[in-house]
Structure 1
Amino acid sequence: MKILVAIDGSKNSLRAVKYAARLAHLLRTASKKITLISVHDDTGLRHARALVGKAEVADYLRELSEKELKSARKLLKDDGIGYDMEIRTGHVAQEIIDCANAGKFDMIVLGSKGRSAVADLLLGSVAQRVLSNAKQPVVIVK
């Protein structure tokens, strides 16, 4: 079973990694491998790109993603589970869905942000968008 886990550096995303690791052990997946994905929306950084350059903004977002992935990578390594990483920029929910489709993943696992129902209604959430639009089963971990 191919599992894609979205990471944003939050405690809930680490819980999602732990859940996916347990699932990989329980299912005894042949490869015991999970793919971690970190996505940052770069649309708000247009002015920064104009000031400091595209390469600097891309480097900054890559460093941020690697920092967010560090705990998840350690957790999987300590648990004896292999992993791949995807680092992307763009609309977060859409990038997760696109990655899941392109990689032919069987499941998407992500943590919830824990906002109130009113805030989610007004702002929307990545988890809700992925849940609504993904073809694969989606597990949201609190």
Structure 2
Amino acid sequence: MKILVPVDGSEQSIKALEYAINLLKLTNPKSNHSQDKGSGEVIIVNVLPHFHIPLGFEKPMKSIKTGNTIPLSEYIAEMNEMLKTEWAEKLSEIKDKFADSGVLVQTQLLEGSHSSRAIADSIVEFSTQVQADLIVVGNVGLGGISKIKALGSVSRNLVETSHRPVLVVH
């Protein structure tokens, strides 16, 4: 079984990841780190926001890397690259936490948008590409307030648009 777990760093997304790994342990008690067809696999995915600038809105900014004055478009490119590097490290740390779980854990960064619909669409498209059997997602992410909402916008959009089963962890 191949399970896709979107992670945004929220407590609920980590809870969903733990649930997915435990689910695989229950369904594949003899699973190991091999990629045999019988063993389970979890793919942790994060959709990176991609910052854009409106046309004609170029202004000078201080570089994050050098401190020199650069065009806004270069500054945005630095921010996007910095986010990508930070999330690659975070996903690696999360993966390492589950190295002894007996479940094959992989990670993937996807480029996306700030829109919850676009994030969900990226996850759904990727789940089709990797032929995931199940998507396990936390009920709310960093943007949701669990005492007010039962489902965050990304979780809701995943449930509404995915052609694959979606398990929402509360």
Q: TM-score range by the shorter chain?
A: 0.7 to 0.9
Question: Runs ≥4 in structure 1, deviation > 4 angstroms?
Answer: none
Cα deviation for residue 72 of structure 1 reads 2.9
Could you tell me whether the CA contact under 8 Å between 1:3 and 1:106 is conserved in 2?
yes
Cα deviation for residue 57 of structure 1 reads 3.3
- Aligned equivalent of 2:52, options 25, 43, 46: 46
What per-residue deviation string (whole Å, max 9, x for no partner) do you get for residues 91-119 of structure 1? 2111100000111111001112252249x
Cα distance in 2 for partners of 1:128, 1:23 equals 22
Q: Which amino acid aligns with 1:59?
A: E
Cα distance in 1 for partners of 2:133, 2:164 equals 6
- Aligned equivalent of 1:109, options 124, 127, 136: 136
Cα distance in 2 for partners of 1:35, 1:84 equals 5
- Counterpart position of 1:95: 122
Structure-2 change in CA distance of 1:53 and 1:12 (3 Å)? closer
- Counterpart position of 2:68: none
TM-score after normalising by structure 1:
0.82
Larger radius of gyration: 2
- Aligned equivalent of 2:94, options 61, 72, 76: 72
Cα distance in 1 for partners of 2:9, 2:100 equals 18
Cα distance in 2 for partners of 1:138, 1:83 equals 19
Cα deviation for residue 67 of structure 1 reads 4.4
Identity %: 26
Cα distance in 1 for partners of 2:92, 2:108 equals 13
2:99 aligned counterpart, secondary structure: helix
Whichever structure has more helix as a proportion of its residues is 1
- Counterpart position of 1:140: 168
Could you tell me whether the CA contact under 8 Å between 2:92 and 2:107 is conserved in 1?
no
Cα distance in 2 for partners of 1:35, 1:17 equals 9
TM-score after normalising by structure 2:
0.70
**Whose relative contact order is higher, 1 or 2, with alpha carbons under 8 Å and at least 6 apart?**
1
When the two chains are superposed, the root-mean-square deviation of aligned CA atoms in Å is: 2.3
Corresponding residue pairs, total: 135
